[in-house]
């Protein structure tokens, strides 16, 4: 009789503890993500006209 009650109580405690552990880890991760203030980044790029013509020619060859 004691074994049945003990095993049920143990299973309940393990499930409750696992739920609390996962929940607290998720909340901690959200706090960490919100705490990061990264500066904005602007990316600018220039492509030489020869590279564009070559890429267009290669794309046209692949389509045919």
Give residue-wise pLDDT tens across range 6-63. 999 999 999 999 999 999 888 877 666 665 666 777 888 776 666 777 777 788 777 6
Q: How far apart are CA 5 and CA 7, in angstroms?
A: 6
pTM of structure: 0.44
- Measured in whole angstroms, how far is the alpha carbon of residue 31 from the centre of its chain? 15
pLDDT of residue 31: 65
Q: Where are the domains of the chain?
A: 1-38
């Amino acid at each position: 009789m004691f074994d049945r009650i003990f095993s049920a109580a143990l299973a309940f405690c393990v499930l409750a503890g696992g739920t609390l552990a996962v929940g607290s880890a998720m909340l901690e991760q959200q706090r960490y993500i919100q705490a990061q203030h990264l500066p904005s980044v602007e990316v600018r790029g220039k492509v030489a006209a020869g590279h564009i013509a070559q890429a267009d020619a290669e794309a046209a060859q692949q389509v045919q």
